[in-house]
Structure 1
Amino acid sequence: MWSPFKVLVFALVAACSFTPVHVLEFCTDRDCPSHDNTASNSQLSPNTFRSRWNISVSNLIQDLDRFRVSCKKLIEAFPIDVVDGNFARSVKNCIFSKSIPTPLKGQLRLAAASKEVIEGILDLDVAVTQSDDFLHYASGGRLPPGSIPLAHRYGGYQFGYWAGQLGDGRAHSLGQYTNRKGEVWELQLKGSGKTPYSRSGDGRAVIRSSVREFLCSEAMHFLGVPTSRAASLIVSDEPVTRDQFYDGNVKTERGAVVLRLARSWFRIGSLEILSQSGEIDLLRKLLIFVIDEHFPSISSDDPDKYLVFYSTVVNETAHLIAQWMSIGFAHGVCNTDNFSLLSITIDYGPFGFMESYSPNFVPNTSDDEGRYSIGAQADVGLFNLQKLLVALSPVLSKQQESKAEHILNGYVDIYHKRIHQLFKAKLGLLEEEEDDGYLIAFLLKMMEDTQSDFTMAFRQLSEVSAQRLQDRDFTQLWALEDLSSHKLFPDWLSVYQLRLIRQQNDSDLDRQQRMRNVNPRYVLRNWMVESAISKAEMNDFSEVELLHHILSFPFVTQVTAEEAGYASRPPVWAKRLKVSCSS
């Protein structure tokens, strides 16, 4: 694959920059800022956590029978699969199939719930999560009023090859919910049983993958990255067999369901399946729907509306991947069916946050060729956008197609510009100087040579004073100690310090605060989530809850997080962890 990014992989772009968090530098659980979406379970007092919006409990829905969704808009907009039933089949001439979730068997338990999502998006009193009704609604055992559950038909390129029909093989869309702020969110259950798109799968998800999905989607939100959200995680006693590493070692795990939501679950593969199948009228209908619903700046009367839509997706996809790179996040399975048309992060599978800096970091042990290594994500984004253009070509004129190719050629510059901005912010640099790109690249090369921790090296640079930098006093700053072992570190440090000195009217405290606002202290490292999973499989959800709370404030130093070692050098056993596509 052509790679314009190899020379400067990380010093290489996100419609939104990191959300500023102007808060205390150090806090206890209770002292942390109030925009907290911590998981709730029966062990928590209702007063333990505070809502971000200070919503009066009397204004929240306390009876789940009053909570309604609607499938009307989707069902009226598109033809529905004429065949009923959840058996696997080839589906044509539709966008959705009606599909009823399969209730989980055995005792159900609430493993986690996002207070921010439950109260701030769904307008529910978080206390309802403690009810049996919620367990059934959030796991597929009972449908909320207004729901006509649907499974979405899509296709996709998987690991570079056209895979044909894919679709929601274990997910059911319950409907759209319009909240008090006028926002429309599509609710979806993941792990809720077979659909017509399950192929040979059982339609289930297991505790292992569901904990990862719940925690990471919420963690990414608080890191300021566009993402789907997670409302709850329900676990069961239902046995589910999985060959986790595809090595013939089949194990029995337990089923789980995540209630997740997004403004839309349409993806590049949603358009590809229609274009590949020659369903061009339906392709136009879906495009017009997506544009009208989610791209209000594009006029439906504009003869170039598809072209403007494509330009927007190219721009925002470049932005999204740049944000992934700036926090060291590797998606793991960047297939076209996992790339949202709204440029949000969806479908959390074998993801990973890079620890020791390496452009070759591959989080997915199923990815033998390293196609989706962290350093290749920008290339993969380009590949996926090329495939999106192919899908759009039947509705574009020759002139529009030529313009679209020109737009695609601009992807590299968009990405370079944004990644440069993000890494400048990570280093606290203001304005623009000619050698800023060199300063960033120099640092990253030293990090690679010394295998320095990506997250903590940047974080500790934001915590250390100018005087300590000058003295090279890195006591108790383990990542900077590693980095400073490089023979060229003194040279880089001199250039960096001179660059900071030239920033007029910028105090050292201001520089540190800016950097702390964009360099997280805590990310969801695989060893952390593995520890939480091991406990969750024994019905101990305390660490899931702890991680959820801590990752809601990733830029703030927290007592419990420090005690748990979440900002310490990763344990030796962390290097042996493997994550695969199996879930």
Structure 2
Amino acid sequence: MKLQVNDIFNKELPADAVTDNSRRQVEHACFSFVTPKQTAYPEMLHVSPEMLEQFGLSEADSKSESFLNVFTGNTVYPGTKPYAMCYGGHQFGNWAGQLGDGRAINLFEVNHNNNQWVLQLKGAGETPYSRTADGLAVLRSSIREYLCSEAMHHLGVPTTRALSLALTGDMVLRDVMYNGNPAYEKGALVCRVSPSFLRFGNYEIFAARQDVSLLKTLVDFTIKHHFPHLGQPSKDTYLKFFNEVTQRTLRMIIHWQRVGFVHGVMNTDNMSILGLTIDYGPYGWLEGFDYGWTPNTTDRQHKRYRYGNQPNIGLWNLYKLANALYPLIEEVEPLEAILDAFKVNFETESLTMMRNKLGLQMDDVFDASLIQQLEDCLLLAETDMTIFFRNLAKFEKEDASAGFNIIKDAFYNMETVSEDIKQKWNDWFARYASRLELETLSNSERKKHMNLVNPKYVLRNYMAQLAIDEADKGNYSLIDELFQLLKQPYSEQPENEKWFAKRPEWARNKVGCSMLSCSS
């Protein structure tokens, strides 16, 4: 196995002067050198062929002993120096101080075909940032991250990627629901991949410590390698940088809302500076359309990170990033103007996204009202978001009365759908049919466009849980089945129709299917 290693982060930025792997406050450094923990009986469970290609590797490489050893932490690739990053963050609205890579170790960077990638092992052992944790990961959470990051990419959502999923052969103690009932689980590792794992919190930590010199060093590094089109560092360039981060964050959240994805823990240390979905913990997809749903047990009471609040939290996090960058800019007004534009742009982009989901290509002043009426209807009875929008593409404007029958499979319980609710749906379909008369696309053309933005298959929590349950028994075939399914989320795939289904009733309140903890 030969990789084109091109380390940048750990060569251009200041390292922790302390080299022992003790939990501590790391000062005046962007990272700490650390070696992954040796694993007992490593076993590679799955490798992404697409990501292998990104690094110029073959399938034969992925089956080699060197690949297994490097991507399970047992061997440090020649000429590289693994490290963990230092960052802080706001968690559930409160400043948490230093956080850092507590269970992630960056192995090295690879440059292939002019694409730069950081390869990072999640669950590779303790680092100076692990605090009281063991730095390890379990199979349950690793399967969820591996499958979801690749699924999100194929959905067209900006995301980090995953190269490999492996067992460590070690058992790891976890309290799944934080309720005082810890149990041993299979240890595992995911090799995560991204152009960068920099987060809002990487900048916040230096601003909080009033280390403006190191803050500037990191921002200049970020612009040089990830936003070079913005030009040389200057106050104007820093504003352009913040503006682009804002736009990328907005674009990412719009995609989340489009497919019904709920991140579950949008702390500032989980916000990518590149606008990528990062840190797949207690995430989930909407089953029933519900603005108030969060998959995170820790967030159950206040629902800070609920589906409907993700745009607001994205903006809140951007305010914190603006505060962190302020020492380099020293002007409030231009930062506020960028943040104010986020609010306006979100309304515009959200309307465009919903128009696309409804197959509307022409603008109409009444579209916002039509969409609001639709959302009101979706909340009348538990309605599966994915199935609803996918089936809606079958609607034909000449037959508005058939609309309800087209989407009725999306209801979880038809007994809750009263005549009054049915009438409200019929009213909406009549209005939708009238609106479609303004469009030039035929029914079949509109269906094609709608099916490009409304996925048929998403990684519902119960699907991931089925794969986890099988893996716990030593059967890993369902991991690959779902991996292959989710590579074509917009295709009909009639042979996989069983996955185009509402959440089964057994999964409604099952741990791992309805609510998940941050250890998930």
TM-score where L is the length of structure 1? 0.85
Which residue number corresponds to residue 133 of structure 2? Answer: 201
Which residue number corresponds to residue 539 of structure 1? Answer: 474
How far the C-alpha of 1:473 sits from its partner, in A, is 7.0
Shift in CA distance, 204/125, structure 1 to aligned 2, threshold 3 Å: same
How far the C-alpha of 1:302 sits from its partner, in A, is 4.4
* 1:181-330 mapped onto 2 (5 Å cutoff): 181-300=113-232, 302-330=234-262
Shift in CA distance, 475/280, structure 1 to aligned 2, threshold 3 Å: closer
Shift in CA distance, 301/384, structure 1 to aligned 2, threshold 3 Å: closer
Letter aligned with residue 468 of structure 2:
I
Residue 68 of structure 2, aligned match among 135, 142, 147: 135
Residue 449 of structure 2, aligned match among 499, 514, 528: 514
How far the C-alpha of 1:301 sits from its partner, in A, is 5.1
Alignment of 1:434 with 2:370, yes or no, is no
SS at match of 2:321: helix
Distance 1:535 1:85 in 2: 39
Which residue number corresponds to residue 579 of structure 1? Answer: 516
Distance 2:284 2:154 in 1: 17
Alignment of 1:461 with 2:392, yes or no, is yes
Point out which structure has higher relative CO (alpha carbons under 8 A, 6+ apart).
1
Q: Answer whether contact 1:216 1:348 (CA < 8 A) is retained.
A: yes
Which residue number corresponds to residue 145 of structure 1? Answer: 78
Distance 2:465 2:159 in 1: 22
Which residue number corresponds to residue 32 of structure 2? Answer: 97
How far the C-alpha of 1:317 sits from its partner, in A, is 1.1
SS at match of 1:117: helix
SS at match of 1:487: helix
Which residue number corresponds to residue 12 of structure 2? Answer: 77
> After alignment, is 480-489 or 348-357 more displaced?
480-489
Give deviations 1:383-414, integer Å, cap 9, x for gaps: 1011011111111123xx22111211111111
Distance 1:581 1:88 in 2: 21
Give deviations 1:12-45, integer Å, cap 9, x for gaps: xxxxxxxxxxxxxxxxxxxxxxxxxxxxxxxxxx
SS at match of 2:151: helix
Give deviations 1:492-522, integer Å, cap 9, x for gaps: 1111111112112x11110000001110000
Alignment of 1:108 with 2:42, yes or no, is yes
Identity %: 38
Distance 1:569 1:172 in 2: 38
How far the C-alpha of 1:469 sits from its partner, in A, is 4.8
Shift in CA distance, 488/203, structure 1 to aligned 2, threshold 3 Å: same
Specify every segment of 5 or more residues in structure 2 that has no aligned partner in the other structure, as ranges: none
Residue 375 of structure 2, aligned match among 435, 441, 444: 444
Distance 2:22 2:56 in 1: 35
Residue 426 of structure 2, aligned match among 486, 490, 493: 490
Give deviations 1:353-408, integer Å, cap 9, x for gaps: 0010010011111213111111111111111011011111111123xx22111211
Q: Answer whether contact 1:97 1:196 (CA < 8 A) is retained.
A: yes
Which residue number corresponds to residue 343 of structure 1? Answer: 275
How far the C-alpha of 1:476 sits from its partner, in A, is 8.8
Q: Answer whether contact 1:164 1:273 (CA < 8 A) is retained.
A: yes
Letter aligned with residue 171 of structure 1:
A
Give deviations 1:50-87, integer Å, cap 9, x for gaps: xxxxxxxxxxxxxx1x224232x223321110111222
> After alignment, is 168-177 or 298-307 more displaced?
298-307
Q: Answer whether contact 2:287 2:385 (CA < 8 A) is retained.
A: yes
Distance 1:236 1:302 in 2: 47
How far the C-alpha of 1:306 sits from its partner, in A, is 0.8
Distance 2:368 2:486 in 1: 30
Give deviations 1:442-488, integer Å, cap 9, x for gaps: 11111111211011100001134445654347369611796895321
Which residue number corresponds to residue 336 of structure 2? Answer: 405
SS at match of 1:103: coil
SS at match of 1:230: strand
Distance 1:155 1:134 in 2: 32
Shift in CA distance, 464/477, structure 1 to aligned 2, threshold 3 Å: farther
How far the C-alpha of 1:281 sits from its partner, in A, is 0.4
Distance 1:301 1:345 in 2: 27
Alignment of 1:423 with 2:354, yes or no, is yes
Letter aligned with residue 278 of structure 1:
Q
Q: Answer whether contact 1:521 1:567 (CA < 8 A) is retained.
A: yes
Shift in CA distance, 465/146, structure 1 to aligned 2, threshold 3 Å: farther
* 1:390-401 mapped onto 2 (5 Å cutoff): 390-398=323-331, 401=332
Shift in CA distance, 359/420, structure 1 to aligned 2, threshold 3 Å: same
Q: Answer whether contact 1:178 1:185 (CA < 8 A) is retained.
A: yes
Letter aligned with residue 537 of structure 1:
D
Specify every segment of 5 or more residues in structure 1 that has no aligned partner in the other structure, as ranges: 1-63
Distance 2:320 2:119 in 1: 28
> After alignment, is 200-209 or 292-301 more displaced?
292-301
* 1:13-28 mapped onto 2 (5 Å cutoff): none
Residue 387 of structure 1, aligned match among 292, 316, 320: 320
SS at match of 1:304: helix
> After alignment, is 286-295 or 471-480 more displaced?
471-480
SS at match of 1:486: helix
Distance 2:55 2:494 in 1: 31
Give deviations 1:325-360, integer Å, cap 9, x for gaps: 111000000000000111110000000000100100
> After alignment, is 461-470 or 327-336 more displaced?
461-470
How far the C-alpha of 1:441 sits from its partner, in A, is 1.3
How far the C-alpha of 1:143 sits from its partner, in A, is 1.8
Corresponding pairs, count: 510
Distance 1:128 1:486 in 2: 57
Give deviations 1:421-460, integer Å, cap 9, x for gaps: 1110000001200111111111111111121101110000
Letter aligned with residue 158 of structure 1:
Q
SS at match of 2:243: helix
How far the C-alpha of 1:544 sits from its partner, in A, is 0.8
Q: Answer whether contact 1:449 1:486 (CA < 8 A) is retained.
A: no
How far the C-alpha of 1:101 sits from its partner, in A, is 0.3
Q: Answer whether contact 1:108 1:234 (CA < 8 A) is retained.
A: yes
Alignment of 1:378 with 2:314, yes or no, is no
Distance 2:201 2:404 in 1: 52
Distance 1:475 1:164 in 2: 52
Distance 2:57 2:278 in 1: 24
Distance 1:293 1:429 in 2: 39
* 1:163-178 mapped onto 2 (5 Å cutoff): 163-178=96-111
Give deviations 1:526-559, integer Å, cap 9, x for gaps: 0000000011122211111111100000001113
